[in-house]
Structure 1
Amino acid sequence: MRQENLKQEQNSQESSSGSSSIRQAIEVLSSLISFSHAIKVFAVKWQLIRSKLEELNAGLIAIEDCDSTQNPILSGMVTAIIISANGCFDLARRCVDLSYSGKLLMQSDLDVMASKFDRHLKNLSGICTAGILTHGFAIVVSRPGANACKDDMRFYVRDLLTRMKIGDSDMKRQALSNLYHVVVEDDKYVRIVVEVGDIVNILVSFLDSVEIDIQEEAAKVVSVISGFDSCKAALMGAGIIGPLIRVLDSGSELGKESAARSLRKLTENSDNAWSVSAYGGVTSLLKLCSSSDPSGELVGPACGVLRNLVSVDEIKRFMIEEGAVPTCIKLLRSNDEAVQISSVELLQNIAAGDESVRQLVIREGGIRALVRVLDPKNSSSSKSRETTLRAIENLCFSSASCISVLVNYGFMDQLLFFLRNGDVSVQELALKVASKLCRTSEEARKEMGDVGFMPEFLRFLDSKSPDVREMAAEALSSMLSVSKNRKRFVQDDCNIGFLLQLLDHEEANSGNKKFLFSILLALTSCNSGRKKIAKSGYLKNIEKFAEAEVSDAKRLVRKLSSSRLRSMFSGLWHS
């Protein structure tokens, strides 16, 4: 029988001259692991035993170069492992042959066997921790190749787990570093980490390590796997939040950065927000953000965590009481792009939909700080400016007092500058913001007309982008609702000519023509504007649109056909 041959092979290995007792134990365990896969009964218990056998086997492989004859403690432990493995072989054979006397008795025997292997693991760990063995003896299991099967990958991860459990400090640190690199480079290893559940618990325990190098390496691994949904539940179940907060409080700079990134990912699920708050995380995060020399790698993720927590109203109120608003405003003065962007987004989220908080932002100098980020003289990036423009649009345009403060700080001049000189993305966003601003009040439209927005809106009417053309036309139409702006616009003969040229190229069903007609209709309320349209060479085109039942074109014809201009048209207005 195969089982008897295996046992004979084991006995031969034990007695062969010159053979290492550790090598014998490894071969016995490997055979037992392989044989256990044929067992169809008591699957859960055998899976537990197999897991312990794999860990024990990987641990022995890691110390295979040690001479157990020179260490009686190690020699005795290896002998005990071989005896336990032989006993387990007998249980395995009876389970395969279904020759056991009773289920309850076999279940009890399997529990006893699992406990034995668990003790062997603890003993091996104790020997290594005591310094009896060092990493110099460890055989390094090579990382499987790119096309390796899952079993090889799993064996490699289990070997790393064993080193993390029983190795000395250097071995633990190296194992963590290797684990970090595989999970960064290959998502399949992340799934294996979840399956080999002890790894998550080990990582969480290492976050409280007094050895900073080990804490940092563990935090780096957690920062990667916390981005995967399959890992988030396991991390939360292992109690990850408390250790991460403690790293934020007392860890190294690198450890704090990794902890903040992990918390940002974990709090994407709002259910985890209360855990962060319960461990004092809000205070810790705000303290990091208010440090004298914050880095983007740390403050960016920290602000990201706080931004996720804002969704819980009670936590948001606590953040405000703890000084989140002045902290954000202070961060706006940073020259670091990541810090600027993160603080702008956090400030926007805190104040969104809350007039009392918006007023607090004004009192603390928030609007001035936002406008300063936009200053062309500053070295802010295009991305920072885009984020700031969106924040100003969301925070300030619903309140006349906010708009007044914006204007006083020179916001319109900055907006006009970016319309003329910004990168394409900034320019289009500036147009969107300007279009919205001119719809807020007549005072805003008057001010914008005085500083020179209308020529820029007119220029964008010829953009290749339909969305840009529509925004520009809508903004110009709104601007021309002000009498002073109409008079200023028609003073330049080229303006009306340009509008009519654009209309000449529009199809009857074009969406942009609606705004062009709206602009022309606004201009007809001005005598000089009406005359210039009537005397242009584009009347036939306007009539063509009217004949096509375009309602705004028919209205424009009626406007132009009043009083002295009536004789210039046919009976079109009677239709």
Structure 2
Amino acid sequence: MEKDICFDEINLQLMEAMKNLDTAKVTTILSPLVMLTEGNPKNCQHIIDAGIVSNLEKLLYMSNNIELTKLVLNILKFISRGNESHKQVIIDEGGIPALMTLLATTDNFLLLLLAAEIFAHIALGNDNQRKVVIEESDVIFAFIDIFNRSKSPIIAEALHSISNMVESIDSFFVPFLVTMLDFENENASLFALKMLEIIACENTLKKQAIIKNGGISALIKVLKNGNNKMHEAAFEVLSVLALGSRKQKQSLIKAGVVPLCINFLDLSNSYISILAAETLENIALGNKKQKQIIIHAGAIPRLVPLICSKNLELCKSAMETILRISNGTIATKHMEIESNIYLRLLKLICSPHSKISINAISLLAKLCEGNEKESQMLLEAGIIPSFLNVLELILEPLKPDDLKKCDAATILFSNIMSNSQGQCKIVLMSEVLSLIEKAKGQKKYKNVQNMPPCHNVPSNAENGKSGIICTEEIFTSLDSNDFKNEQRVSGSAAAATEKLYSAGKGVLSQHIELLHSSNVNLQRIALQALSNFAKGTAEQKHILANSGIIPDIIDFLASDDPGVRYNTLLILFLVSNVTTKNLSETMITHLLNLLKSSNANEWCITSKLFVNIAKGSILENVISTKSFTILLDFLDYCDAIYTPMPVIKLLLFEILFGETKFTYLQSLVLKEDGNRLLKLLLSSDPDLCKYGVTLFYLFLTTRNAKKKKAAFQAEAVPCLLKLLNSTNLQYQILSILLFFSEEHLQELMDNGICPYVIEYCHSTEEQTSHIALSLLTNIVWGSKEQIRIAVEAGATDIIINFLKNVKLSPKTQHFCTKVMISLHTILLELPDQHEDIVKLGGIPVVARLLNPKYKLLCETAMSFFERISHSNIDEVQNVVQKFALIPLTKLFNIKDISTQIIAINTVAKISTRTSEQRKVFLENNIMKQFVKLLLSKNADIILLTVKLFAIFANGSVEEKEAVIKANALLSFSNLLYHEIITICYIVADILHDISFNCSYGIQGIIDVNLIPHLMNMLSSSDINLVLTAAKTIKNIIDGSDEERQIIIQVDTELTLTELLHSADEYVILCTLKAIKVICCSNPTLLAKFVPIISEFKHSENANIRENVIWILINSSCGTVEC
């Protein structure tokens, strides 16, 4: 039972096993502790009380055994989950540097993950503990790297906790994140941008921390040099910073953010343009001066074209930004007029999107406010036809949004009427009167007869208005002089308009009642007359389109009488030749039914009508409002016997390649009906197949994840594979398959995708071959079985050939890294492929990638060599060392410490496993490169270097001599006193190994004057160092000539005698053990210590007595004494 476990006894056993370097026994002792500590804080406390944690930290330095290290890390992880005191013990016992060394020296992902999670648990402690973690920048970088690979929730929680440390934000974390923006690793930079956005969203103080630490200039640098993804992330941070105080906004302005935002205002990337506009809008929330700076920088001419974008969000954002920065000055108005803003706003007045319509009306009202010239310009530009729909709102507000439109429209109408003269006022008023007459005649507006005399609208202080504008006042403001002046204007626009409207009303008055007759013949006569009228001039077609009759005749499309249906179709077709704006959604529904008609004349004219519709804007308007079904319904009719196929193709072409394509894609997503797309792919018509492929491709290249999910259909895969060889859309099809492979790789594999991918990897079209290679890498990143299939199909050869021929550059490095990772994956998952990779020439190919200019690619190549160096096949080992040794050694001189460490570690592993490898290493004169590394200021580099020297020092006599000839001993004197005890241990062991049975090694130690340092080690507080020094001294004495031997013995005697006079029992004990080691084969020297040692025969310390007795027994005179 747990209560009977003696943790103190376990600690003693552990220390004894560690002392004897018995890895198996240590593992046996620690294994039960993992089970005891998991989820048991009480046992964790017992382990802490017993002092086991200190030994666990030492094991992290001492052990190279992965399984043993895993046990140690698991125990520490369970302890770190405890309370703050548990976490503090790990810190106090030196856990942080031990874990940091592990992060730097191992490439085992499980060990890295365990170490990172221990750091994460510590980071979730108190602020002081969190500071200990964030002061190690390599930990944060490791967090990011490991989180990107594992998505560990505890690491994510730790990062969030670190980001909320107000006192550390300014001092470390923000500067570190800003520095990360310069990293070549795009994932790290994107992570930094995301963290900066989260920090900036917190409060003004954190925004200031980002600005203070150079965040703005770093973000600007990203915008100047990064890709679209980086631009978007950078603008998201800037947009939040722009919401800060006026002083912070001014910092953005001074840094040059305003002109940079303006440069990004274009239609090539809608999302970036939206973010840029939002940033400007947020800055404009400041004072008037800041608004003026944005205006003078030229924002308005760049924003104006965006308000007509098909992207609704971009349109809204551009309009809101213009509204925000417009300050109502004459100069600003002239700038807006010169940008033709009023022409664009006129188109948007009747937008089905309320927010856009309201903003358009408000902007026009602002433009006309108190200025006759602007009002006149709007009237001459043709505001009247566009304004009719807005005036309807004044008569009958229906919805809350319509009430807002009514208010905005009333202000605009008032501004125009206040500043208009003569004929302009007459034209405008005649339209208003006509509108009211139509409303009364058709009884469409229930409230016209009893309409209240006025509407409440926002006050207009500048014009002296009280805030209430009466409808009667608007109409009566047209005085008799205006009519008289107009009569003297010959051929004016107003006279022409009135003439046309009179003609239109004449026709309508003759036939309006016939249309509503229950007699079909009378309806047919009326429709015939109207169709004859529609066959006239363009003006007559416009009159008919604007008369209000069109909505009334649409229902005749469902009539049982063929003549009525045909004449109705004819009128709609003729009108659609000049405009489609008054055609409604109901008409589309009827037309879709007529496409299935058995009457050839009907579907023929219907098809022509749809051609006009496809070229116009009616489809966009209908889809934007309610139906979302037009395209989908068309696809359902593809197999109808009378379907006019050319019309369907034309419509699809308009959707795919016309101006409104984005809107249609939205409709498809909302429907989420991939079966209709599948129907296109299965069509026997090659054009429709191509359109289906293009639709899939457009679907998947959007940002919306929902669209990608909606697009996948398992049945589509064989169709797409079949089309690969029968169309010229290989790039698009492979792109679709690439998107599918991210979540549906197994479905692709089940359909036998590998041969197709391999085939197109050989394509002469670079774009096609690269997308095929990307798809191949996704397959290789799959399951072991999927990797095997890809390799058997020839994946390894293709990957190696690509890496062999590709021209390395900043543009190609990321893709090359992706491909290199896939080769590394094959190596990891399929060890039997080592020989094949060598035979295919993969080793020299990967060796050329060891270029420090491309950091991530270089690191991946080094990992590859480190992994393949584990191979037991001699041929593989020899080839690796032949091609990789020199390129890896060249990386020792680069500034990046992490890359240096990986290179050193890799060289050590491929050069020290066998005597043959060590021989090649020495032949290439690389030992001197490692001697230089002994002078490094980085402890991890020194540790790796001395470990390599330890291997050679423990080897043959030739290998020992190589260490001496490389002048390594000169650097060892300082390292004997290094702050990291493990380095001291290893250096001491090296000196011992070199001195063992090697006269050249002994002479080398003497020549560089290491004897005094060995004597100093005898007084060390660490028993291990004392004994190692004693063994080395013994080797030197035994191996020296008689004269040198006498000198060293005298020095040794003096040093040991002095230590025996110490008052510290531990020093005495260590000295006695040293005497045993040094004098075990030298009775004469041993006898010299007998008089002094005899004093300790009766010591209370049992260990001292035991050692004294041994010395006395083995001395020449000790036997008599005993």
Question: What's the TM-score once normalised by structure 1's chain length?
Answer: 0.63
2:553, 2:609 → 1: CA distance?
24
Where structure 2 has 5 or more consecutive residues not aligned to the other structure, the ranges are: 1-396, 399-438, 446-511, 517-543, 556-569, 636-647, 1038-1044, 1060-1069, 1074-1122
Q: Say which of 516, 524, 542 aligns to 2:1017.
A: 542
The 1:521/1:274 distance shift into structure 2, 3 A limit, reads same
Counterpart position of 2:249: none
Counterpart position of 1:280: 752
The 1:22/1:205 distance shift into structure 2, 3 A limit, reads farther
Q: Which amino acid aligns with 2:868?
A: L
The 1:350/1:537 distance shift into structure 2, 3 A limit, reads same
What is the 5 A alignment of 1:54-93? 68=572, 70=574, 81=586
Counterpart position of 1:168: 651
CA drift of 1:214 comes to 4.6
- Contact kept, 8 Å, 2:596 with 2:603, in 1: the verdict is yes
- Contact kept, 8 Å, 2:632 with 2:668, in 1: the verdict is no
Higher mean C-alpha displacement, 454-463 vs 162-171:
162-171
Q: Say which of 587, 599, 616 aligns to 1:137.
A: 616
Q: Say which of 761, 769, 773 aligns to 1:289.
A: 761
SS of equivalent to 2:868: helix
Higher mean C-alpha displacement, 427-436 vs 242-251:
242-251
What is the 5 A alignment of 1:173-192? 173-174=656-657, 179=662
- Contact kept, 8 Å, 1:260 with 1:301, in 2: the verdict is no
CA drift of 1:397 comes to 3.3
What is the 5 A alignment of 1:495-534? 495-504=968-977, 506-507=978-979, 510-525=981-996, 526-532=1001-1007
Q: Which amino acid aligns with 1:12?
A: K
Counterpart position of 1:334: 805
SS of equivalent to 2:611: coil
1:225, 1:518 → 2: CA distance?
62
Counterpart position of 1:304: 777
Q: Say which of 930, 934, 955 aligns to 1:457.
A: 930
- Contact kept, 8 Å, 2:992 with 2:1031, in 1: the verdict is no
1:359 aligns with 2:835: yes
CA drift of 1:474 comes to 2.4
CA drift of 1:220 comes to 4.1
SS of equivalent to 2:804: coil
Counterpart position of 2:941: 468
What is the 5 A alignment of 1:440-451? 440-451=913-924
Q: Which amino acid aligns with 1:274?
A: Q
2:1032, 2:588 → 1: CA distance?
106
Greater RCO (Cα-Cα under 8 Å, separation 6 or more): 1
The 1:326/1:403 distance shift into structure 2, 3 A limit, reads closer
CA drift of 1:389 comes to 3.0
The 1:164/1:288 distance shift into structure 2, 3 A limit, reads farther
Counterpart position of 1:487: 961
Q: Which amino acid aligns with 1:132?
A: V
Q: Which amino acid aligns with 2:910?
A: L
2:691, 2:835 → 1: CA distance?
46
- The CA deviation string for residues 342-374 of structure 1, in whole angstroms up to 9 with x for no partner, is 544333333435454323333333334434x34
- Contact kept, 8 Å, 1:157 with 1:179, in 2: the verdict is no
Where structure 1 has 5 or more consecutive residues not aligned to the other structure, the ranges are: 27-65, 85-115, 143-152, 184-188
Counterpart position of 1:12: 444
- Contact kept, 8 Å, 1:204 with 1:240, in 2: the verdict is yes
- Contact kept, 8 Å, 1:435 with 1:475, in 2: the verdict is yes
Counterpart position of 1:45: none
CA drift of 1:427 comes to 4.0
1:193, 1:511 → 2: CA distance?
65
Counterpart position of 1:21: 550
2:787, 2:608 → 1: CA distance?
46
1:221 aligns with 2:714: no
- Aligned residue pairs total 464
1:25, 1:464 → 2: CA distance?
86
Higher mean C-alpha displacement, 480-489 vs 210-219:
210-219
Q: Say which of 802, 821, 830 aligns to 1:345.
A: 821
Q: Which amino acid aligns with 2:695?
A: A
CA drift of 1:68 comes to 2.2
Counterpart position of 1:197: 672
The 1:261/1:79 distance shift into structure 2, 3 A limit, reads closer
- Contact kept, 8 Å, 1:386 with 1:429, in 2: the verdict is yes
CA drift of 1:496 comes to 2.0
SS of equivalent to 2:778: helix
- Contact kept, 8 Å, 1:479 with 1:485, in 2: the verdict is yes
- Contact kept, 8 Å, 2:820 with 2:860, in 1: the verdict is yes
Q: Which amino acid aligns with 1:21?
A: I
Indicate the RMSD between aligned Cα atoms, in angstroms. Answer: 5.1
The 1:264/1:69 distance shift into structure 2, 3 A limit, reads closer
1:283, 1:346 → 2: CA distance?
18
Question: What's the TM-score once normalised by structure 2's chain length?
Answer: 0.35
- Contact kept, 8 Å, 1:128 with 1:168, in 2: the verdict is no
- The CA deviation string for residues 157-209 of structure 1, in whole angstroms up to 9 with x for no partner, is 959977997772442124798649x99xxxxx8xx9755423x5566666677
1:461, 1:159 → 2: CA distance?
73
Q: Say which of 794, 812, 821 aligns to 1:323.
A: 794
2:982, 2:631 → 1: CA distance?
64
The 1:390/1:239 distance shift into structure 2, 3 A limit, reads same
Counterpart position of 1:96: none
Q: Which amino acid aligns with 1:360?
A: D
Q: Say which of 379, 398, 419 aligns to 2:892.
A: 419
The 1:293/1:213 distance shift into structure 2, 3 A limit, reads closer
The 1:24/1:385 distance shift into structure 2, 3 A limit, reads farther
The 1:300/1:240 distance shift into structure 2, 3 A limit, reads same
The 1:356/1:497 distance shift into structure 2, 3 A limit, reads closer
Q: Which amino acid aligns with 2:797?
A: P
1:267 aligns with 2:771: no
- The CA deviation string for residues 507-540 of structure 1, in whole angstroms up to 9 with x for no partner, is 2x55544444444443343313443576365447
CA drift of 1:561 comes to 4.9
The 1:534/1:408 distance shift into structure 2, 3 A limit, reads closer
Q: Which amino acid aligns with 2:885?
A: M
CA drift of 1:431 comes to 1.7
- Contact kept, 8 Å, 2:949 with 2:990, in 1: the verdict is yes
2:732, 2:991 → 1: CA distance?
59
Q: Which amino acid aligns with 1:331?
A: F
- The CA deviation string for residues 324-351 of structure 1, in whole angstroms up to 9 with x for no partner, is 3333333232224556545443333334
SS of equivalent to 1:132: helix
- The CA deviation string for residues 113-133 of structure 1, in whole angstroms up to 9 with x for no partner, is xxx999699999995698532
- Contact kept, 8 Å, 1:486 with 1:523, in 2: the verdict is yes
- Contact kept, 8 Å, 1:476 with 1:519, in 2: the verdict is yes
1:411, 1:499 → 2: CA distance?
28
CA drift of 1:317 comes to 4.1
| Structure of larger gyration radius | 2
Q: Which amino acid aligns with 2:911?
A: C
The 1:432/1:265 distance shift into structure 2, 3 A limit, reads farther
1:515, 1:157 → 2: CA distance?
78
1:560 aligns with 2:1033: yes
The 1:537/1:394 distance shift into structure 2, 3 A limit, reads same
Higher mean C-alpha displacement, 203-212 vs 512-521:
203-212
